Amino acid sequence: MTMQRRSFLHSTAALALLGTAGCATTSIPSRARVVVIGGGYGGATAAKYVRLLSDHKIDVVLIEPNAAFVSCPLSNLVLGGSKQLADITTPYAGLERNHGVTLVKDWAKAIDTSRKTVTLAGGATIAYDKLVVSPGVELQMDGIEGLRAAHASGRVLQAWHAGPETVALRRQLEAMPDGGVFAIAIPEQPYRCPPGPYERACQVAWYFKNAKPRSKVLILDANQDVVSKAGLFKRVWAEQYKGIVEYRPQHKTVAVDARAGVVKFEVHEDVKANVINALPSMRAGAIAVQTGLNNLANNRWCGVDFLTFESAVVKDVHVIGDSIMIAPAMPKSGHMANNHAKVAAAAIVSQLSGWAVNPSPMLTNTCYSFVDDKNVVHVASVHEYVAADKTFKAVAGSGGLSPGPTELEGSYAMNWARNIWADALA
Ligand SMILES: Cc1cc2nc3c(=O)[nH]c(=O)nc-3n(C[C@H](O)[C@H](O)[C@H](O)COP(=O)(O)OP(=O)(O)OC[C@H]3O[C@@H](n4cnc5c(N)ncnc54)[C@H](O)[C@@H]3O)c2cc1C
């Protein structure tokens, strides 16, 4: 953290986030409190930026059960074996030390939206003026027959929340005999991180190519086709991982039999695999669902006002990150969650201060995918708020796609990760 608080507040970045209208007329109430649920890409960023944008006048309490932040981006490299969990772990202490965020290590158990309080699993109750809900996704384990029990037994893991399960899945790959099969089952979109499963297939294939060359990676995709960077991934599988990776579209997994090592589909024959990584459908994080914020898409996702990220259902509750119903062409990504957080933080500070909310927020996104330990491809986009449609839309001609994997993009990807971790946590 080299940038001083005051210089940040007077920077164009801070003014752009807040919008400038009405800044001089009212002042930030000194005792307002913002409570944030979830210290991931969205929540940690929101906690820090409410402090920064309010000149540290608004109290911020961050509720997160984990002792440290473990990044999903780059976690596929732990499966490939080129990174360790420690490489993708950052302590939360910087938020407290550098920004005065109060850290509460606990689960938010219940939100009372009429009393404006959050009750913790430990029993305490915290009052809020504004609440930010960023709990990520909940995996819908019951959507695949046998999956909940297979997961509980430790036989079929998802590792779609980075942490100990990522290491456990790596151990399964290490224990698999050469000549074995790793099957990854992908749900229909939308799900957390569109390119994530395809990057994972590359990482496992890279490991097999070097350590178990007779082994196979089977990609069992419920979608019609690869949903992100399709041409790039397919080229890598055909050229770099020929004979190792096999892609099967329109394979919707309906059941797993962990004991027999079998994956079953709506149509198509069963598949046998040594290591099964079955990803079920996803929905908004459990606390958002429990609070009734999940009003859209068959109650899977939370609708928000895209100017402020305030819930469409409950006032003074802002939902960000993977839990929201996305705007067109908006991925469920860490980069996006970080950007949602900044727009929401600016809107919250403005609302608590009696200022006008920025009427034209912008979002950016870049998703890097490692195809081996060094070479990377990316997809990028820019999204602008369109007032007439009350949503974000991709800016025509913005963004782009790599022509092919390079080591140079590998260094960009590592720096992207270091920068976004610092932006959210340092
Ligand atoms: C394998 C993989 C690779 C990925 N790669 C990329 C990538 O390269 N680039 C990219 O931009 N994105 C990537 N993503 C996606 C990215 O991780 C998510 O989009 C991002 O984490 C969403 O942020 P979030 O704040 O919504 O959720 P999270 O980051 O998951 O944070 C949610 C937090 O809320 C906490 N929480 C949940 N419930 C409660 C509760 N009741 N009380 C208190 N705390 C709670 C959790 O402990 C967690 O820390 C990847 C994801 C995966 C799985």
Beta pairing partners, 363: 383
Region of poorest pLDDT, from 2-6, 116-120, 405-409: 2-6
Counting ligand 1 atoms within 8 A of each CB, the residue from 35, 41, 71, 128 with the most, and so the one to mutate, is: 41
Q: Residues lining ligand 1, judged by CB closer than 6 Å?
A: 37-43, 63-66, 72-73, 75-76, 107-108, 134-136, 160, 192-193, 196, 200, 285, 287, 321-322, 332-335, 337, 367-368
Residue 45 is predicted with a pLDDT of 98
Where residue 27 falls among pLDDT bands split at 50, 70, 90?
Answer: low
The CB-based long-range contact list for 310-314 (8 Å cut-off, 24+ gap) reads 310/347, 311/133, 314/113
In angstroms, what is the span from residue 12 Cα to ligand 1's centroid?
29
Tell the residue nearest (CA) to atom 11 of ligand 1.
334
In angstroms, what is the span from residue 69 Cα to ligand 1's centroid?
10
Where residue 16 falls among pLDDT bands split at 50, 70, 90?
Answer: low
| CA nearest neighbour of 82 among 181, 170, 21, 164 | 170
Where residue 31 falls among pLDDT bands split at 50, 70, 90?
Answer: confident
Instruction: Give the global pTM.
Output: 0.94
Q: Which atom of ligand 1 is nearest to the CA of 162?
A: 53
pLDDT at 17 over 80: no
Q: Which atom of ligand 1 is nearest to the CA of 71?
A: 17
Q: In the predicted model, what is the mean pLDDT of residues 75-87?
A: 98
The residue with greater pLDDT, 30 or 256, is: 256
pLDDT at 163 over 50: yes
Average pLDDT over the chain reads 94
Tell the residue nearest (CA) to atom 23 of ligand 1.
41
C-alpha 267 chain-centroid distance = 31
Q: What is the pLDDT of residues 303-345, one digit of tens each?
A: 999 999 999 999 999 999 999 999 999 999 999 999 999 999 9
In angstroms, what is the span from residue 322 Cα to ligand 1's centroid?
7
In angstroms, what is the span from residue 153 Cα to ligand 1's centroid?
24
In angstroms, what is the span from residue 31 Cα to ligand 1's centroid?
30
Residue 15 is predicted with a pLDDT of 40
Q: What is the pLDDT of residues 349-395, one digit of tens each?
A: 999 999 999 999 999 999 999 999 999 999 999 999 999 999 999 99
Q: Which atom of ligand 1 is nearest to the CA of 331?
A: 19
* CB of 226 closer than 8 Å to CB of 247: yes
Region of poorest pLDDT, from 8-17, 43-52, 74-83, 332-341: 8-17
Between CA 291 and CA 305 the distance in angstroms is: 17
Tell the residue nearest (CA) to atom 31 of ligand 1.
40
Q: What is the pLDDT of residues 42-69, one digit of tens each?
A: 999 999 999 999 999 999 999 999 999 9
Residue 46 to residues 204, 269, 296, 342, 344, Cα–Cα distance (Å)? 34, 46, 23, 6, 7
Where residue 38 falls among pLDDT bands split at 50, 70, 90?
Answer: very high
* CB of 282 closer than 8 Å to CB of 140: yes
Parallel/antiparallel/unpaired status of strands 216-221 and 245-248: parallel
Q: What is the pLDDT of residues 173-213, one digit of tens each?
A: 999 999 999 999 999 999 999 999 999 999 999 999 999 99
Between CA 351 and CA 348 the distance in angstroms is: 5
Going by the DSSP 8-state scheme, the letter that residue 176 receives in this structure is S
Residue 23 is predicted with a pLDDT of 36
Q: What is the pLDDT of residues 137-155, one digit of tens each?
A: 999 999 999 999 999 999 9
Tell the residue nearest (CA) to atom 35 of ligand 1.
38
Between CA 70 and CA 334 the distance in angstroms is: 12
Q: What is the pLDDT of residues 247-262, one digit of tens each?
A: 999 999 999 999 999 9
Residue 366 is predicted with a pLDDT of 97
Parallel/antiparallel/unpaired status of strands 216-221 and 181-186: parallel
Q: Which atom of ligand 1 is nearest to the CA of 420?
A: 11
In angstroms, what is the span from residue 121 Cα to ligand 1's centroid?
21
Tokens of 412: 């960009």
In angstroms, what is the span from residue 136 Cα to ligand 1's centroid?
5
* Count of C-beta atoms within a 10 Å radius of residue 37: 26
